[in-house]
Structure 1
Amino acid sequence: MSDPDQAHAHPHDTVGGVPDRLPAADVRALSQLEPRRALSALAVEWLAIAVAVAAALWLAHPAVYAVAIVFIGARQHALTVLGHDASHYRFLPSKTWNDAIGNLFMQWPLFISVAGFRKFHGDHHKYFGLEGDGNRTLWRTHDEDGAPTREWTYPKTRAQLAVKLLRHSVGLTGLRWVLRGLLSVFFLKNESIQAKVLRVSYYAAIAAALTWLDAWLSFALLWVLPLCTWHITIQYMRLIAEHSAVSSEDPAYQGTRTTIPTRFEALLILPRNIGYHLEHHWYPSVPFYRLPDLHARLLREPRFAANADISTSILRSLVHVTRRETPS
């Protein structure tokens, strides 16, 4: 007879185990995929981007461009959240279609790939807080000795946090991400030759279309600029909120914070339930649209309700990782 605890096993489950293990039947139910919900979310994000681009080009006003840049940057973040589900094999039931749709409509437009992200993010889940944690490579959160780097040492003063976010928002970090993503096609070892050829062809086709339409300036203003400014900024805000200065008396809960954003924050900072991060780390088999249900189920566990660090705003989460005084 199979072990019921393995009924919901996922390749990215943490090797450290989960302190509040739910019954297998509950996790199995929460892990059921609904392709229509996933594809509808993807369609909504691209429709929103198309409307924002059309409005900016039609009205051609600086204020409209500014709003469009923030809005499109947030939608780009939403695409990476959906692509994040694809990296966990949770977007579509078919692995082939999961990766194909994930690349074509979520990751490749943002100069990354499902396989590339999966390589680091899967290890972030499996070896969270340990030497093999993928964030140590992708985000450079720790040095060679396993200590947090200066940038990822928290709490910081509020001024230090503001400087960090501003530094990453001006565009250079984003351009470095774009360049790293484009070059990754040549050195990613877990991506097939066929996928590499398709990815290069994809970018070549887009470049040809932009040249034919004489649309390079519009592409720079309404895709690259949002990606390199607001999109990058909220990526850092999210990661800081997820794992920095988590407050709990129980060591099993001190690695990850859940942030439930306001509606406005969900639109422009934390889209598609990405803030339910403690829940996601424990149960990566649960797709993004069921994370609120998973959260509600976990709250019925006394230990989770007593010890989980749960914030009801991304701004509150960022306040929690800061201190007012300057360190002596």
Structure 2
Amino acid sequence: MKLLHHQQLREWSKLRSWRNFGWLALDYACVLLVAGCAVGFHIVCQEQGYYWAWELPVVLLAVFHLGILQHRIALMGHEASHGLLLPSRVWNDRVANLLCFYPLFSDIRLYRKRHVGHHLHPNDHEQDPNLFGGKVERIWAKFPMGKLKFARCFYLMFFWPPFVLRNLLDLFLTLSAGTQGAAGTVARKSPLPLLGRIWFILSSLLLVSCVAFGVRSWPLLLCMTALAVCVWAWHPAQAFSAEGGMTPKVLKQNALQKLSFNAMLLLVVGVLSERFGGQVVVAFIVLWVCPLIYVFPYLMLLREIYQHANAGTEDLDNSRIMHVDPFTRWALLGYGNDYHLAHHLYPNIPHDRLAEVHDALLRESGDYAKAVAESYGVVQAPPGRRSILDLLAR
């Protein structure tokens, strides 16, 4: 394939970090707005003495939209995994962890470890980490698939908890537990990541227990945090294996950063619970943890299917370009994921320049123009065009 001119690529590769931070700020503002409206409606219902069932539709709608916003935050984390958030690799990862990965109980190193393999072997049933965990047999082998069957197998399955929770398990094994499914586990010399997860689980249980029994939680949480910091300080940096260009010292600092974030999260929830009551913990679980468990993994799977199912393994057929309605683009294919083939060809170009890359490739590369699969709409396409579901069915 004819490549684009290097001067064009240099221009497109320039980071405009302020734009990404602006989009992230907007996503988090929407999180606060949606959660605030749900909490406000709950307070009004309580004051008016309404039966709790009146709140259910509003809460479910809020959970769905918060899951979408979590997915958008994760997509910005995907940008950061390519080093496209900040010019400095160390600060790119630190800021991405604080703003994108830690709030989703993940880590940029674990995500990048899998995502690099996906870019090296897209759609390869043996080597693409995105297809580990039996996803080839459970999902990819079903394609090509007609529209009605797709709606039955995927759209309606959103309302079947075992289907969604099975996808959550795939996501957890890769992004939180540090494993890579069928390929084995991520080797670590240090037990600190495991100890950190145990500390967070025990601290969370302690917080819930204190709220349930009316005990002040923050002194106990502070003691547990101090103990965890002592374990971190005692742990030698040499116990961390250098990886991805990061020294053991930087990895140890990142461990402290994650510990600090989790400790602050628990302390804030604990202090707010003592001020406003145990409903703060319930609100956090319902409006943040539940979308993360149920809506977020479903959106991750659906996006992967749109991008890669029924596609090949070569450079020009491993994904597609998708022109979709504004809501689908916002909820599912934001931050350049609608131009996913262009991203696979040039993964170091920021998301807001991928449309220009696609247009340039159509003009300058006959191979690309001939091979690219473009879709228009999700279910139904204009006359003479193909929708995403048409591409999944051919």
For normalisation by structure 1, the TM-score amounts to: 0.80
Report the counterpart of residue 219 of structure 1 in structure 2: 284
Contact 1:186 1:196 in 2 (8 A): no
Does structure 1 residue 115 correspond to structure 2 residue 109? Answer: yes
Report the counterpart of residue 24 of structure 1 in structure 2: 6
Contact 2:94 2:254 in 1 (8 A): no
Q: What is the SS of the residue equivalent to 1:149?
A: helix
Report the counterpart of residue 189 of structure 2 in structure 1: none
Contact 1:45 1:78 in 2 (8 A): yes
More displaced, 291-300 or 169-178?
169-178
Higher helix share: 2
Report the counterpart of residue 388 of structure 2 in structure 1: 317
More displaced, 99-108 or 167-176?
167-176
Report the counterpart of residue 281 of structure 1 in structure 2: 344
Report the counterpart of residue 217 of structure 2 in structure 1: none
Alpha-carbon distance between aligned partners in 2 of 1:156 and 1:64, rounded to the nearest angstrom: 34
Provide closer, same or farther for how the CA distance between residues 83 and 253 of structure 1 changes in structure 2, counting only shifts above 3 A.
same
Aligned-pair CA distance for 1:297: 1.5
> Alignment length, in residue pairs?
296
Q: Which runs of 5+ in 1 are unaligned?
A: 1-18, 142-147, 324-328
Q: CA RMSD in A?
A: 2.7
Aligned-pair CA distance for 1:210: 1.7
Q: What is the SS of the residue equivalent to 1:219?
A: helix
- Match for 1:162: what amino acid? R
Aligned-pair CA distance for 1:72: 1.3
Q: Which runs of 5+ in 2 are unaligned?
A: 43-54, 179-192, 196-239, 274-279, 380-386
Contact 1:165 1:233 in 2 (8 A): no
Alpha-carbon distance between aligned partners in 1 of 2:255 and 2:284, rounded to the nearest angstrom: 23
Does structure 1 residue 40 correspond to structure 2 residue 22? Answer: yes
Contact 2:64 2:295 in 1 (8 A): yes
The one of 273, 298, 301 aligned to 1:236: 301
Aligned-pair CA distance for 1:96: 1.8
Deviation per CA, 1:234-293, whole angstroms, max 9, x where unpaired? 21111011111138xx96532212222211212222222212110000000111111122
For normalisation by structure 2, the TM-score amounts to: 0.68
Deviation per CA, 1:281-326, whole angstroms, max 9, x where unpaired? 0000111111122122222133322220111234431343247xxx
Does structure 1 residue 151 correspond to structure 2 residue 139? Answer: yes
Contact 2:375 2:391 in 1 (8 A): no
Alpha-carbon distance between aligned partners in 2 of 1:34 and 1:103, rounded to the nearest angstrom: 19
Alpha-carbon distance between aligned partners in 1 of 2:91 and 2:111, rounded to the nearest angstrom: 17
Alpha-carbon distance between aligned partners in 1 of 2:327 and 2:154, rounded to the nearest angstrom: 23
Alpha-carbon distance between aligned partners in 1 of 2:309 and 2:174, rounded to the nearest angstrom: 25
Alpha-carbon distance between aligned partners in 1 of 2:168 and 2:311, rounded to the nearest angstrom: 30
Aligned-pair CA distance for 1:124: 1.2
Aligned-pair CA distance for 1:134: 3.0
Does structure 1 residue 195 correspond to structure 2 residue 254? Answer: yes
More displaced, 287-296 or 188-197?
188-197
More displaced, 97-106 or 118-127?
118-127
Does structure 1 residue 307 correspond to structure 2 residue 371? Answer: yes
Alpha-carbon distance between aligned partners in 2 of 1:195 and 1:47, rounded to the nearest angstrom: 26
Report the counterpart of residue 297 of structure 1 in structure 2: 360
The one of 122, 130, 134 aligned to 1:135: 130
Contact 2:167 2:298 in 1 (8 A): no
Deviation per CA, 1:89-126, whole angstroms, max 9, x where unpaired? 01111112211110001011112111111111012112
Provide closer, same or farther for how the CA distance between residues 314 and 201 of structure 1 changes in structure 2, counting only shifts above 3 A.
farther
Q: What is the SS of the residue equivalent to 2:294?
A: helix
- Match for 2:116: what amino acid? G
- Match for 2:129: what amino acid? G
Alpha-carbon distance between aligned partners in 1 of 2:329 and 2:83, rounded to the nearest angstrom: 24
Alpha-carbon distance between aligned partners in 1 of 2:272 and 2:308, rounded to the nearest angstrom: 44
Aligned-pair CA distance for 1:174: 6.2
Alpha-carbon distance between aligned partners in 2 of 1:174 and 1:245, rounded to the nearest angstrom: 19
Provide closer, same or farther for how the CA distance between residues 109 and 174 of structure 1 changes in structure 2, counting only shifts above 3 A.
farther
Identity %: 26
Contact 1:173 1:228 in 2 (8 A): no
Aligned-pair CA distance for 1:44: 1.0
Provide closer, same or farther for how the CA distance between residues 211 and 251 of structure 1 changes in structure 2, counting only shifts above 3 A.
closer
Contact 1:42 1:82 in 2 (8 A): yes
- Match for 1:51: what amino acid? L
Contact 1:165 1:236 in 2 (8 A): no
Alpha-carbon distance between aligned partners in 2 of 1:318 and 1:219, rounded to the nearest angstrom: 36
- Match for 1:285: what amino acid? N
Q: What is the SS of the residue equivalent to 1:172?
A: helix
Larger Rg: 2
